A and B are shown apart, each in its own frame.
Chain A
Amino acid sequence: MVEGEDDSGMNKMKNFKRRFSLSVPRTETIEENEFTEQINQLNLRRNEGKGTLNQTSLISLSQPISPSQAEPGQLASEPQARSPTQLQYHNRVQQRRFSMEDVSKQMSLPMDIRLPPEILKKLQMQSPEPCKPLSRMSRRASLSDIGFGKLETYVKLGKLGEGTYATVFKGRSKLTENLVALKEIRLEHEEGAPCTAIREVSLLKNLKHANIVTLHDIIHTDRCLTLVFEYLDSDLKQYLDNCRNIMSMSNVKVFMFQLLRGLAGELKLADFGLARAKSVPTKTYSNEVVTLWYRPPDVLLGSTEYSTPIDMWGVGCILYEMATGRPLFPGSTVKEELHLIFRLMGTPTEETCPGITANEEFRSYLFPQYRAQALINHVPRLDTEGIDLLTTLLLYDTRKRISAEASLRHAYFLSLGEDIHSIPDTASVFSLKDIQLQKDPGHRSSVFHPPGRGKNRRQSVF
């Protein structure tokens, strides 16, 4: 890693770096002795009884491989690139040996964990000179001392769910006494670490927003990776089930606002580092079928351009689902999905969807010419502004489809007040006094405690 020099350009870059990365790979040499010891222990633990790769010294195999056996260049149908600096290299080669200490010093612990305010306070109190900021090293050591990155810190309370790659447990952090969700990902699979796990961790590391589930800690044990998330009472589906699909319309509005806040502006695929992964496959890597219910017609008809309007169609579908208690277009095949969409929204024409008549796929389906139906007849509980928002979310023309930013300013949300637009990204909308969840008409229990009213709790539906 380069540390910027004192020129202002570099500093500017660094500031941006700060804004954008919640975790920077720490690869600087760690100097503190006490910390080296800790790391050596970690190293020992990792090496115990497994692995042919010896990590404390060189990564090397016990059996040297003869060059003829594993010569890179087996496939080299192309000539090898020649370097203009090749000659210099010969002279520079030095057979430097590293002590075990050198190498183990280079290890670093995950740094992108977030300390809860209580712990921060505690750390500040322990600091001998409260005015002086803790050095990076002492803070890092403290973090591990107080139990971050350690499985013992979390108590498993019960299983919440199980998937192909991961099991999710409800848990409690001994540090904060907060409830957490522990997602255990098994790294041993036929094809090594599952790509879903690799992506999930890599993406979540870059995200911090009140309406996106927060990753608190990552623990690596033997052959398992445990992600520690904030604990959410339920997702939208469970929530809907729980209120027997009859949600208070005022809650629908609050949830909609939260969803759009999560999508607005700062949440782009680029944040996930997937700026160029533009294909939207119908099947996942593991060949599971991805739900089609929230896909816009442009994607169903083969568009591979990922941009934000794609998400906005899905938001429209969710608004409908919250207001009516049932999914809007529950198709099980691409054709059925398109059929359901066209039957309600009208078969697209050159006027409603420029370029559609030239779309080969669309033409091949030979859909009947449906006329658009009035949405109000299908979502009677939604008010006029809500119907208008829904209509602009479900436009065929991606250029006319409303954006997340614009929809936050839609008349539908006027009743939430003006203050809701000025709260910081990381604060919940429930930090405003006026924003409260209402009792849902269909809710099973007699008293409904709106979640997320605690000081440090965030509310998120998704």
Chain B
Amino acid sequence: MDACPSPEGDDSGFEEDFQSPSPSNFFTIPWSVNLNNRLIADHHEVIYDESCFIIQKNNEEEFLALNCLARQPQITAEARCKLVSWLIAVYKHFKLSFESCCLAVNIMDRFLVTTSVAADCFQLLGVTSLLIATKHVEVCSPRIKQLLSLCCNAFSKEQLCNLECLILLRLNFRLAAPTLAFFLDYLVSQELSWHRVGGKDDNFTDLYEVKNDDDWTATEEDQLSRVEKYKYFACKICELSLADYAFNKYQPSVIVQSAIILAKDHFRKPASFKHTSSSEMADLLCTADHNSINYSLIQQCTEDLRLLVSLNLESLQDLKAL
């Protein structure tokens, strides 16, 4: 990554518009090649998925909506928590993807950074953000009428459409935010393909499993169902983190890594119980960037999430049956 030239000048982000950004450099960085070697069978797909991952990872910072409530006179963290919890219920009601839900929260937060919103419009902002997110992600979006009726018709269609335009303009149509859903899918599918190949590579330590674990002798189906289980659990944790303003400061990839660590701990056999080392996890994604920063971030985030999970045990009740 050091090979990339660093453009001089101020931080205006403007002069680079005249340069020719050559994203192709991205696909030749050493560690991506290293990862590619792991899989021969799905070679095409791996290169493809991985370049998606690298791009998303590098876009994260730009799409963070840090301190989005800091300058809001009326919107509190509790209000946000309430609204996002409601949005989570709404996205499930319409059977939308988790991606839409994550993107909706991101759109909402980034809009809050730009514009002050009154408390009585906050719910309208929530559904409108969800509508925009589904238009970007889903094949079919919910009807405006349906969305409004979920708000007990407290708002008019005209209000929603006006706000939609305003959000799009304030966000400058920048909607391709990296999301929790993307990183969750990617990291779990990485693990699945790793299991499919079924072997260890000296260059790539399996970061999810504790070594010498008996799990390695388990059948492929067992592995799959285990992965499914903790993916589900990790997704639940991610949902909780969406609603909590305290996690607004973390990049989605950090939250996902931490959630996976927690989920793994949860499903580990009590006998071999041992926290997955955050450093192992950090290695996976951060070989090329500021390792130490990310390492402590993941540790911190994991602890925050652990607390969040312990406070929300009843909402995770159904998971205990797993």
- Does B139 lie within 8 Å of A18, measured CB to CB? no
Interface string of B156-195 (1 = CB under 8 A from A): 1011111111101111111111000110010000000000
B44 at the interface (CB under 8 A from A): yes
- Nearest-neighbour CB distance to chain B for A138, whole angstroms, equals 10
Interface 9-residue window, one of B51-59, B223-231, B276-284 = B51-59
Contacts A52-B156, A85-B246; A275 near B289 (Cβ below 8 A) = no
Which B residues fall within an 8 A CB radius of A?
1-2, 4-7, 9-18, 20-27, 41-45, 48-49, 51-53, 55-56, 58-59, 61-62, 64, 66, 71, 73-74, 76-78, 81-86, 88-90, 93, 99, 110, 113-118, 120-126, 131-132, 135-137, 139-141, 143-144, 150-152, 154-156, 158-166, 168-177, 181-182, 185, 239-240, 243-246, 289-290, 293, 304, 307-308, 311-312, 314-315
Q: Which of A1-39 contact B (CB under 8 A)?
A: 1-4, 7-27
- Does B315 lie within 8 Å of A74, measured CB to CB? no
Contacts A70-B151, A72-B83, A74-B150; A268 near B48 (Cβ below 8 A) = yes
Q: State the CA gap A75–B144 with chains docked (Å).
A: 17
Q: State the CA gap A454–B87 with chains docked (Å).
A: 53
- Does A60 lie within 8 Å of B170, measured CB to CB? no
Can you name the residue of chain A whose Cβ is closest to the Cβ of B46?
A307
A349 at the interface (CB under 8 A from B): no
- Nearest-neighbour CB distance to chain B for A228, whole angstroms, equals 14
Interface pairs (27), CB distance under 8 Å: A1-B64, A9-B290, A10-B290, A12-B289, A19-B23, A20-B23, A21-B13, A23-B13, A51-B162, A58-B74, A59-B117, A59-B121, A70-B152, A73-B85, A75-B93, A76-B85, A78-B85, A81-B243, A136-B12, A139-B12, A193-B132, A193-B165, A202-B173, A265-B23, A276-B185, A285-B139, A399-B44
- Does A55 lie within 8 Å of B73, measured CB to CB? no
Contacts A73-B85, A206-B176; A58 near B116 (Cβ below 8 A) = yes
- Does A85 lie within 8 Å of B24, measured CB to CB? no
The 6 closest A-B pairs by CB, nearest first: A273-B176, A9-B290, A60-B118, A136-B12, A270-B52, A70-B154
Interface string of A113-143 (1 = CB under 8 A from B): 1110000100000000000010110011000
Interface string of A153-183 (1 = CB under 8 A from B): 0000000000000000000000000000000
- Nearest-neighbour CB distance to chain B for A110, whole angstroms, equals 6
- What does DSSP make chain B's interface, helix, strand, loop or mixed? helix
Interface centre among A27, A108, A220, A279 (most CB of B within 10 A): A27
- What does DSSP make chain A's interface, helix, strand, loop or mixed? loop
A-B interface pairs (CB < 8 A), number: 356
Q: State the CA gap A93–B152 with chains docked (Å).
A: 28
Q: State the CA gap A451–B178 with chains docked (Å).
A: 39
Q: State the CA gap A20–B59 with chains docked (Å).
A: 8
Please, which residues of chain A bring their CB within 8 A of the CB of B162? 50-53
- Does A271 lie within 8 Å of B23, measured CB to CB? yes
